[in-house]
Amino acid sequence: MFSAISRSTVSRSSVAYARAFHSTPAAYKTVTEKVSETAQDVNMKLGKTLAKGIEKGQNATEAVKENLPSTEQTKKKAGEAATVASQKTNEVKADARAKTDELAEKASK
């Protein structure tokens, strides 16, 4: 039985052995492609970081706007303060006149 196998018509020289060829994914990329991918990764990370910073700045701006009174509220409060000051001034003037009149009456007697 073994003698029949050794006499087969296929010669040993025609049998090719398949040799495994292994390469890493890095071997498929050129230097230009590697640099391009690295630059793209850096760009994406930088963009995300800047976006977070801008978002925090916008949130801070909104918080300040909410805490500050509006221009109309400020004008209204300023007007009210001016009115109160004017009333106080008139009261003080009236008191001063009354005291002046009292002193004038005492001096004339």
What pLDDT, in 10s, does the model give residues 12-35? 555 556 666 666 665 678 889 899
Distances (CA, A) of 89 to 47, 75, 80: 61, 21, 14
What pLDDT, on the 0 to 100 scale, is given for residue 105?
82
| DSSP string computed for 30-43 | -HHHHHHHHHHHHH
What pLDDT, on the 0 to 100 scale, is given for residue 63?
87
Distances (CA, A) of 42 to 48, 55, 58, 90, 108: 10, 20, 24, 71, 95
Residue 37 pLDDT exceeds 60: yes
Percent of the chain clearing pLDDT 70 (strictly above): 74
User: Mean pLDDT across the chain, nearest whole number?
Assistant: 80
Interval 62-78 mean pLDDT? 83
Interval 69-98 mean pLDDT? 88
What pLDDT, on the 0 to 100 scale, is given for residue 75?
86
